[in-house]
Amino acid sequence: MRRSASLGVVILLALTGPAGACNVPVFRYALEKWKPDLYQVYVFHRGALSKDDAALVKTLGKHGPGEDVASNLELNAVDLGKPTKETEKLYEAVGKPELPALVVQVQNLDRETVTIWSGKLEKNPVDRLVQSAARKELVKRLQAGETAVWVVLESGDKKKDDEAAALLEKELKRVSGKLKLPQLTDKIEDRLTPNGPPLKLSFSVIRVKKEDAAEEMLRWMLLKSEEDIAKRTEPMAFPVFGRGRTLGGLIGAGITAENIEEGCALLVAPCSCKFKNQSPGFDLLMSTDWEAIFAPKK
């Protein structure tokens, strides 16, 4: 699905190879089994933080696995007044931003560490990092069992953005009537986790405007999934599934009926990649407790 071309054979084989495959579709297996990759969030400072800055660090510290707000975020506070060779090297590598600085890194589709965002530690970037309206809606739809939510990053050219979104809506409706869920058996590997959402075939679209400052972090998460796409000026469409994972985006002329159907078909196919690190993909930073959707209903 990368670089605006057709979905590659390598991705197809990685997700739908025949050896030992269970019949649980990829999107549902990902929702039940695949924990999102951690975003490494660094706060670089020198000496004691001011009261306001310390409060921002405390806010970040409440997010993470096992913290007050379940998130795929790991906080690293780095005091450059007591540096190590590793911390000095990391600070230099991100361009020595003004202190105290916020730096967010994760692995992209090529398993390379990339900087999603770096800049001054301030309230707005902290708030936008940990949550946004679009991501809240993404979580709501995915936890309800949707197969995938296609996120359209708008280019700012209304005509192109409307055409891309209209084509996507049209094709998602078409493929929803064409694709079929795999038939589950009585085998152990085909059993769904109890109490989860209904298994269904359902696609939807969320549009993110280019000028929407509140979605700045979400835009950069998607744009940094590949090293060169941030320079592109066309609308982009990313299918998000599981616990906030995407295979990559369709860009501009790559948003075609064929590619949309191929992307949807991959997610509905029986899953053979039981180990997440063997499958292509890129995780978004989400603040939600994914395990809660499988908890017994009270």
pLDDT in tens, the chain (298 residues): 444 443 443 344 444 444 456 889 999 999 999 999 999 999 999 999 999 999 999 999 999 999 999 999 999 999 999 988 888 999 999 999 999 999 999 999 988 999 999 999 999 999 999 999 999 999 999 999 999 999 999 999 999 999 999 999 999 999 999 999 999 988 888 889 988 999 999 999 999 999 999 999 999 999 999 988 999 999 999 999 999 999 889 999 999 999 999 999 999 998 875 666 667 789 999 999 999 999 887 7
**Domains in the chain: how many in total?**
2
**Domain shared by 121 and 141, yes or no:** no
Of the three residues 130, 148, 183, the one that is the final residue of a domain is 130
**E strands, 67-147, where?**
73-79, 101-107, 113-120
Phi, psi of 282 (to 5 degrees): -150, 130
Q: What is the Cα–Cα distance from 103 to 287, expressed in whole angstroms?
A: 18
**Domain shared by 171 and 257, yes or no:** yes
**Domain shared by 125 and 139, yes or no:** no
Give the helix/strand (H/E) hosting 86: helix 85-93
Task: Name the CA dihedral angle for 120, 126, 129, 132, rounded to a multiple of 10 degrees.
Answer: -130
**Domain shared by 74 and 200, yes or no:** no
- pLDDT at residue 186, as a whole number: 87
Query: Whole domain around residue 44: which residue ranges?
Result: 39-130
Of the three residues 87, 106, 130, the one that is the final residue of a domain is 130
**Domain shared by 251 and 141, yes or no:** yes
Contact in structure between 164 and 208 (CB atoms under 8 Å): no
In sequence order, the 6+-apart residues with CB closer than 8 A to the CB of 17 are 272, 273
Give me the CATH number covering residue 122.
3.40.30.10
- pLDDT at residue 218, as a whole number: 97
**Domain shared by 121 and 140, yes or no:** no
**Domain shared by 66 and 205, yes or no:** no
Structure token digits, residue 258: 């064929």
**Domain shared by 166 and 71, yes or no:** no
**Domain shared by 280 and 219, yes or no:** yes
Q: Helices marked H in 94-132 — which ranges?
A: 123-130
**Domain shared by 186 and 280, yes or no:** yes
Of the three residues 82, 99, 130, the one that is the final residue of a domain is 130
- pLDDT at residue 76, as a whole number: 95
Q: What is the Cα–Cα distance from 249 to 194, expressed in whole angstroms?
A: 32
**Domain shared by 253 and 105, yes or no:** no
**Domain shared by 57 and 170, yes or no:** no
- Structure pTM? 0.91
In sequence order, the 6+-apart residues with CB closer than 8 A to the CB of 108 are 114, 224, 225, 226, 227, 282
